[in-house]
Amino acid sequence: MRKSFRLTCGVATLVLAGCSVQVQNNTPDKFQANPDIGMYPIKATVKQGAMVSQPIYLYDVGGGQKVPLKPDPTGTHFSAMLPVRCQSSFPLQYLAIWRLQGLATKQKLFPAQPIEVELTPPPLTQEATIDTSGAPKKGAWEGVVKYKFSTAANTQITGAKIEPLSSSPADVLSAKQIRIVSTLPINAECDKSTAITLASRARQAQANLVIDTSLPGKMSTWTTKVTFQPKPSA
């Protein structure tokens, strides 16, 4: 993604180099989504010709708003923290504005069309423990496994199933003690905790909870190890 996009503003070949500005994008192609902060660093390098006057102004306009990038003391390296939430990607496009010595103000978009920076979903819950210290209700202990989705305004848990941890008879028998209580599908709002309720007929049991989601790619299916057990005494 790190490409240079060049602007020139003259006719004669010798004049072109002196009045041009180059913007090189230094932002990574992708980030892991960070729901806690919801901010992502964007960076670019600006090179100017001899006829270009300081200061040069650089903005990100890919998302429809003008987000200013701040230059370093040399006026060469620009950066900003871009707020993005509940999206799987964001568009990035720079608007450079500068002035030529004795000439009018110039501006140009780099590149001509916005580029997309991918936001990959963070891992979901990998393990969950449900306390069975108290008395069971209606012959079973209940608890929840919580998930939080961050790369879409709404995500749907379309399906769920219980699978044994292995093919051993003990694990197969343990998995049979656990059932899913929640009714599917389940709609999950962005950055809000969404729970699936499970129940176990045994005080101690463990299995994998496998969920199917509306997220694309590797996150379309997720496996969580679930353990029912009494809470250790202090």
Q: For residue 38, what is the domain's CATH number?
A: 2.60.40.650
Residue 43: inside a domain: yes
Evaluate whether residue 24 is within a structural domain: yes
Whether 116 and 196 share a structural domain? no
Task: Note the pLDDT tens digit of each residue in 155-172.
Answer: 999 999 999 999 999 999
Does the structure show a pLDDT above 80 at 112? yes
- Residues 133 and 115 both lie in one domain: no
**Percent of the residues in the chain that have a pLDDT greater than 70, as a whole number:** 92
pLDDT, average across residues 118-128: 96
Structural domain contains residue 18: yes
Q: pLDDT of 208-228, one tens digit each?
A: 999 999 998 889 999 999 999
In a shared domain, residues 187 and 88: no
Question: What CA–CA distances, in Å, run from 219 to 126, 150, 154, 163?
Answer: 13, 12, 14, 18
Task: Give the domain-ending residue among 120, 139, 158.
Answer: 120
Q: What is the domain count for the chain? A: 2
Could you count the other beta carbons within 10 Å of the beta carbon of residue 56? 19
Do residue 98 and residue 137 come from a single domain? no
* 151 & 62 share domain: no
User: Does residue 189 sit within a domain?
Assistant: yes
Q: Do 195 and 180 fall into the same domain?
A: yes
Q: What is the mean pLDDT of residues 200-212?
A: 98
Length of the chain equals 234
Predicted confidence (pLDDT) at residue 10 exceeds the cutoff of 80: no
Domain, as residue range, for 138: 127-229
Q: pTM of the entire structure?
A: 0.83
Buried b (16+ CB within 10 A) or exposed e, 109-144: bbeeebbebebebeebbeebebebeeeeeeebbebe
User: Does 134 lie in the same domain as 82?
Assistant: no
Judge whether 111 lies within some domain. Answer: yes
Q: Tell me the average pLDDT across 186-209.
A: 97
The pLDDT score that the predictor gives to residue 234 is: 64
Torsion, Cα 112 117 118 119, to 10 degrees, reads: -140
For residues 131 and 203, membership in a common domain is answered with yes
* CA 181 and chain centroid, separation: 30
Task: Please state, in angstroms and rounded to a whole number, the distance separating the CA atoms of residues 16 and 18.
Answer: 5
Cis peptide before 55 (omega within 30 of 0): yes
- Of 88, 120, 152, the residue at which a domain comes to its end is 120
Domain end position, chosen among 103, 120, 137: 120
Residue 234 lies in a domain: no
Q: Is the pLDDT of residue 8 over 50?
A: no
Closest residue by Cα to residue 195 from 159, 229, 148, 152: 148
- Say if residue 173's pLDDT is above 60: yes
The mean pLDDT of the chain is 91
DSSP track, 27-89 = --SEEE--TTT-EEEEEEEEEE-TTEEEEEEEEE-TTSS-EEEEE-TTS-EEEEEEE--S-SE
For residue 193, pLDDT over 80 is answered with yes
Q: What percent of the chain stands above pLDDT 90? A: 82
pLDDT value for 49: 85
pLDDT for 13: 41
